[in-house]
Chains A and B, each alone.
Chain A
Amino acid sequence: MIEVVDLYKNFNGYEVLRGINLKVEEGQTLALIGGSGKGKSVLLKHIIGLVKPDRGRILIDNQDISKLRGKALKRLKERCGIVFQGGALFDSLTVFENIAFPIREKTKMKASQIQDTVFRELARVGLSGAENKYPAEISGGMKKRVALARCLVMNPEIVLFDEPTTGLDPLISKAIHKLIRDCQKSLNYTAIIVTHEIPEIFSLVDRVAMLFNGKILAMGTPEEIQASKDPVVHQFIHGELEGPISIE
């Protein structure tokens, strides 16, 4: 279970997060929606321990990740995985080496076992045959799938997706959404997906949270969010130009 309690963060005097409260139950998938540049990715980086909060707590199974150090933090990070917005693949390594990287560094698996595991993950994300290509030689959609494969290869209990379909055409976006759903069903991880894919995302997740002005403005099931009477939520999910949200 992930629980964020009263989280604050400011960068150079600009308060990005102003008291975030959020809860994701084990095995659930939460979609985090909100305007661009409003702190959704920052929140994900807090949850995986890449950024330290100014104030507040981030609890993963009742352990505060912001207070952990050394081996305890390492162990907690090993239970999590993140798919970054741009994939964050190591550009000097091939697709195969990218997926094999965490296994080689963190386990004592034999080369043949590593190969089997990588090929199995590649097949899962529909990229069999692309193992010898470099990240620069593959499309944006393929990069996201390789990033997902690299994330899932270590069987994480928590997976964070930072805009997994941004910049992709509708068909590939749909394919990636299906892949995320299928993987979630088979591996049963807890997931948070930062996304702008509205309304497509509503069919994929258990709950939706909307970030506005550094706080969670609304949280509920996709149906509850879609039926929300809050003018901000209504304007955002319907993509209306007129309303309380000003376009900067």
Chain B
Amino acid sequence: MKWFFVPFKFIGGIVHKFVRELGRMACFLTEAFFWMLFPPYLIQRVVRRINFIGVKTTSVIILTGSFTGMVLALQIYYVLAKFGAEASLGPVVALSLIRELGPVISALMVTGCAGSALTAEIGIMRISEQIDALDAMALNPYKYLIVPSLLAGVISLPLLNAMFVSVGVFGGYIVGVGLMGVSSGTYFGGIQDFVEARDILEGIYKSLSFGVLITWISCYKGYYTGYGAEGVSKSTTQAVVLSSVVILVWDYFMTSLLVS
């Protein structure tokens, strides 16, 4: 009869592990938000983290943003041309970037560039006892490592998103106007007519939440990393994979909420 319970035990084990991990992650974020409220407010550390998360990702954002805008314009022009609606190229490119592609792709780029580095950095600090050293000095590791990263994520992501969208719209302009022959006035005029404040707000809300998600997952995975170099590399991979999946899943729920 024992064999009968094996699959239940197996599934139960997985569910138990998942729920425990989720609870630990929730406690981690709650503690970080809690310590955010109390002084000392380490502004300098936040600025350094913005440099780490935001500034160092800028070149990648500009590069991917411009090519995303360009390929989007090519694909959309091809479809619009079938209906004779080429004049709508500008607003379609802009709305796709503002509402969806800008926040999502910029978040994925930040995950790849800064999220992984954040996990590796905190993970190495953990295994080399630097976090314990902070704690032993009666300094709160949350205040020194986690809170500045969370704040930097929340500040950087909307700005990187804005950069991605601006460059993307300009990339679309180069293809649409420069290559496909859409008039410049039609391209920008359409954007002015169709893009509303709520579209921009949707993009901002998304990138703000992605900023929290990326830094939360990356810091958590680094803070509770395994032993040795293998533990850190495993945590880094997990952080990137989990952040990327969560970004896409969260994006769906946020979109359905904001659209409705």
Contacts and interface: CB of A to CB of B under 8 A. Distances in A.
Interface residues of A, number: 24
A90 B130 contact: yes
Contacts of B136: 48, 50, 77, 80-82
Interface string B131-150: 01101111100000000000
Contacts, number: 45
A85 interface: yes
A171 to B, nearest CB: 26
Nearest to A90: B130
A105 B135 CA distance: 13
A88 B133 contact: yes
A74 B129 contact: no
Contact of B129 (A49, A75, A84): A84
Interface string A87-119: 011110000000001100110000000000000
B128 interface: yes
A50 B135 contact: yes
Interface in A37-54: 45, 48-50
Contacts of A126: none
Contacts of A91: 124, 128, 130
Contacts of A50: 132, 135-136
A102 B133 CA distance: 10
Contacts of A88: 128-130, 132-133
B137 A77 contact: yes
Contacts of A48: 136
Contacts of B129: 84-86, 88
A187 B121 CA distance: 35
A9 to B, nearest CB: 16
A6 interface: no
A206 interface: no
Contacts of A45: 132
8 contacts: A49-B135, A73-B138, A85-B129, A88-B130, A101-B137, A106-B137, A106-B138, A154-B137
> What 8 A-B pairs come out closest when comparing CB atoms?
A77-B138, A88-B129, A88-B133, A74-B138, A84-B129, A82-B136, A78-B138, A102-B137
Interface of B: 124, 128-130, 132-133, 135-139
